[in-house]
Chains A and B, each alone.
Chain A
Amino acid sequence: MIWELLALLGIYAYVSIASLLYAGIDRKLVARMQRRIGPPILQPFYDFLKLASKETIVPNTANFMFKASPILMLATTIALLAYTPIGFKPLFATKGDIIVFIYLLTLADFFLVLGAISSGNPYAKVGASREIALLASREPAMMLGVFTVMWALSKHGVEKPFSLANLYEHNIWEFGPMAWVGGAVLIYVFMTWLASEVEAGFFNVPEAEQEIAEGPLVEYSGRYLAIIKLAESLKEFIAASLVVAILFPWGIEMPGLEGYVVNLLIHTAKVFAVLFVAKTVFRAVTGRLRVTEAVNLLWTRVFSASLVASLIIAMGVVM
């Protein structure tokens, strides 16, 4: 138990650094795509330290949740790291932990929304309502895809069905040509889901700076904003980790501690590649949709694609 907690702290430190590093790389790449030079790669670290050292202003209209939400959000995200597949089996992998994973992933967003509506700022309330609308629209597609994959893997007679640890024992590409077609559709579904999870490009709806002044984050400043930014960045890495673990879970077999480290590094490289497509390029080439359009797209294009992919994979497994 104590070793697992130490490992969790190590993973937390590593993922914090990796996710903030990717935020820097992302800004640099978007700048280069627009023929700019961009900030230094370590800029998110400087931003974090600066925000943490700034004066924190709490509005008069805020209630106690305003202060508690960022901490709860970060705590949720750290707890989520214990269930995240990052190149090796999750620390607390157990039967059915996929439910816990999805629950904690959405809970982090709920805490952000709670903090926003506790600030008493109408802009934050608009941002929070958009956040919830997007959250409710994007998760079903992901859930259906994940549960289908989990169900398909459980057909292989795994030890703990519906655990994220199964993803490293078998993967959906083993089920023959039918599942390959379904997997290709799933790649589209999960990439779109990831883009809406990190709120890039089309889905930059809740934090629309030009429309509603940063939405949920409008009243946050100083230490709380630093915590929220860190938690969001961790959540990005975790969401991308899920996508990588489900679609491209290949690592290398290697005993001992070195095996864990090497697999973690391979996984990080894959996460960066996935985020490059779903976040950086997507952010650079697309503008924001309206909130109604984004919800429509998620329900009609993405959820239906998820349904189709699930049926194809299911047929592939059953046959």
Chain B
Amino acid sequence: MIKLPLLSTVLKNIAKRPATNLFPKTDPVPVPEDFRGKIIYHVDKCVGCRMCVMVCPAGVFIYLPEVRKVTLWLGRCVFCKQCVDVCPTRALEMSDEFLLATYDKYDKKLRWFTEEEIEEYKRKLEEQKKAKEVAKKS
């Protein structure tokens, strides 16, 4: 005798509503508290202590000695949150964003503190220096 224990369940399920989430039509399943999503980097808060470079297991961070900041590419990020935990100035934090698919590895949304921003920041530093020198002279 063949037993079919699933039969009743299966036939009952036809009448029930599907227990699925129709993602593109509806919102995705809400993220929990303390969800580890995409990293946010606040350049102005960063003091260049290199802690994140030391602690990162994936090599996301590259230290820039001339501006004493880091640049990061999230294509390598494993969302372990160690950089956030170790950052003394709260310059790094985790957001709720997780829809990070792109066609381009070096997309803008996977980068913080890009080359242009670095150049801009350097110029700002120069201007500040000049302003200081002008102030000294006067």
Contacts and interface: CB of A to CB of B under 8 A. Distances in A.
Same complex for A and B? Answer yes
A207 B78 CA distance: 38
B7 A33 contact: no
A166 to B, nearest CB: 33
Given A29-B14, A35-B13, A285 B6 contact: yes
A33 B18 contact: no
B99 interface: no
Contacts of A53: none
B20 interface: yes
A34 interface: yes
B4 A33 contact: no
Nearest to A38: B18
A247 to B, nearest CB: 20
Contacts of B7: 281, 285
B13 A285 contact: no
Contact of A37 (B4, B16, B22): B22
B134 interface: no
Contact of A285 (B10, B20, B22): B10
Interface residues of A, number: 12
Chain A interface mostly helix, strand, loop or mixed? helix
A32 interface: yes
Contacts of A35: 13, 16, 18-20
A191 B35 CA distance: 52
B14 A33 contact: yes
Contacts of B14: 29, 32-33
A5 interface: no
B23 to A, nearest CB: 11
A34 B14 CA distance: 8
A284 interface: yes
A37 B18 contact: yes
Contact of A32 (B4, B6, B18): B18
Nearest to B10: A33
B124 to A, nearest CB: 54
Contacts of A63: none
Contact of A36 (B10, B11, B18): B18
Contacts of A33: 10-11, 13-14
A284 B10 CA distance: 7
Given A32-B13, A281-B11, A284-B6, 20 more contacts: A32-B14, A32-B18, A33-B11, A33-B13, A33-B14, A34-B10, A34-B13, A35-B13, A35-B16, A36-B18, A37-B18, A37-B20, A37-B22, A281-B7, A285-B4, A285-B6, A285-B7, A285-B10, A286-B4, A286-B6
Interface of B: 4, 6-7, 10-11, 13-14, 16, 18-20, 22
Task: Pick the 3 closest A-B CB pairs, nearest first.
Answer: A285-B6, A35-B19, A33-B10
15 contacts: A32-B18, A33-B11, A33-B13, A34-B13, A35-B18, A35-B19, A35-B20, A36-B18, A37-B20, A37-B22, A281-B7, A281-B11, A284-B6, A284-B10, A286-B6
